[in-house]
Amino acid sequence: MLRKIANPARLLTFQRTMASTASTGPLVRTELDSQTGYATVILNRAPVNSLSLEFMAEIIKTVDELERSKIRGMILTSPSSKVFCAGLDVLEMVNPSEDRLRSVWRNLQDTWAKLYGTSFPTVALINGHAPAGGCLLALTCEYRIMCSNFSIGLNETQLGLAVPPWLQKTMRNTVGSREAEIACIKGTMFSSEEALKIGLVDELAADKGEAMHKACNYLDTFKNMSPYARSATKLLLRNKKIEDMKRAREDDIDRVVKNVMNSDFQAGLAAYLQSLKDRKK
Ligand SMILES: CCCCCCCC/C=C\C=C\CC(=O)SCCNC(=O)CCNC(=O)[C@H](O)C(C)(C)COP(=O)(O)OP(=O)(O)OC[C@H]1O[C@@H](n2cnc3c(N)ncnc32)[C@H](O)[C@@H]1OP(=O)(O)O
């Protein structure tokens, strides 16, 4: 459940409707507490918040809007009780047109860059599983609080995909070189407790209420600090990685196109999709 806000009149909800969504309501909901200046960004693409082209465009637009609104902090979460984000929408990879695949990948790069380079502090409230692109979203945030009994990790290699350099670097920056190297190569999915142990997440919480409380505590640590000094320091730490990604982005997209258009990859993907369905039987 989302944190209760003392005065509902303070709750401003930005809502946008998007075409081609299976979710009810907008793909991304933002609730702004005008007392604290903290925005809760709720990823809302049922059933598992998989990242389609349009969903990522909406996340990017939301962050742009929050930058303009001069918020004091952002908490990124999901309304689901089981899934934070299931990663890229695997259907985007099934025999895609090359143009769409390029756009999907470009939007994933931009989603990462936009969230990674926010001027305001960010917390991922990981209240469910976070494989692959779900882990990527969490890694863009400054601080991660994860509810118990879920899994998180960059499992791309398990799916036949290479982890791109900019994402490897983000993982390295978070858990250190050795852990990142092994985790990326093996495609390890970590339990919440294991993730805490290697520093992939910063704190655990028993439930979403406790996680929200901890997220606000993290954001409160900046309450009396100059937003300018804070964000300038963050961007000095992070901008080079964003610029590096942008410089190499066309090569990155070419590599993904080659990877995904390959017939062996497509055969593996078909088997993977079947295995997702079989798990339910
Ligand atoms: C564009 C090209 C890129 C490639 C370049 C490589 C670069 C690498 C960098 C980043 C790459 C990211 C790649 C990815 O993110 S790939 C996606 C990886 N994600 C997964 O493998 C997650 C698969 N899903 C699950 O493990 C589970 O669904 C889980 C998230 C644990 C939730 O389990 P549960 O609550 O039991 O829900 P269901 O499994 O029943 O799922 C409900 C329905 O949702 C469908 N589903 C699940 N995941 C996805 C997904 N990622 N995309 C699309 N659809 C998904 C699932 O099939 C169910 O559908 P249905 O009800 O119709 O059967």
Q: 137 near 76, Cβ under 8 Å? A: yes
Sorted by where each starts, the structural domains of the chain and their CATH numbers stand as 24-279 (3.90.226.10)
Residue 51's beta-bridge partner residues?
A: 88
pLDDT digits (tens, 9 = 90+) for 16-28: 223 334 457 899 9
Q: Is pLDDT above 70 for 208?
A: yes
Specify the 3-state DSSP secondary structure of 235.
Answer: helix
Query: Residue 237's pLDDT is what?
Result: 97
From 156, 179, 204, 219, the catalytic residue: 156
Ligand 1 center to 136 CA (angstroms): 14
Taking the centre of ligand 1 as the mean of its atom positions, its distance from the CA of residue 88, in whole angstroms, is 7
The span from the CA of 250 to the CA of 236, in Å, is 24
Q: Establish whether residue 48 lines the binding site of ligand 1, counting it when its CB lies within 6 angstroms of any ligand atom.
A: yes
- Whether residue 3 is predicted with pLDDT greater than 70 in this model: the reply is no
Q: What is the ipTM of this complex?
A: 0.93
| Annotated catalytic residue, options 128, 133, 160, 187 | 133
**Per-position DSSP letters for 149-186, written without gaps between them:** S-EEE--GGGGT-PPPHHHHHHHHHHH-HHHHHHHHHH
Q: How confident is residue 152, by pLDDT bands cut at 50, 70 and 90? A: very high
54 is catalytic: no
Catalytic residue, candidates 88, 161, 167, 204 = 88
Residue 159: both structure tokens together: 């799916």
Predicted TM-score (pTM) of the model is 0.92
Residue 116 parent element (H or E): helix 98-116
Relative to the CA of 136, which ligand 1 atom is closest? 10
Nearest C-alpha neighbor of 155 from the set 103, 190, 196, 115: 190
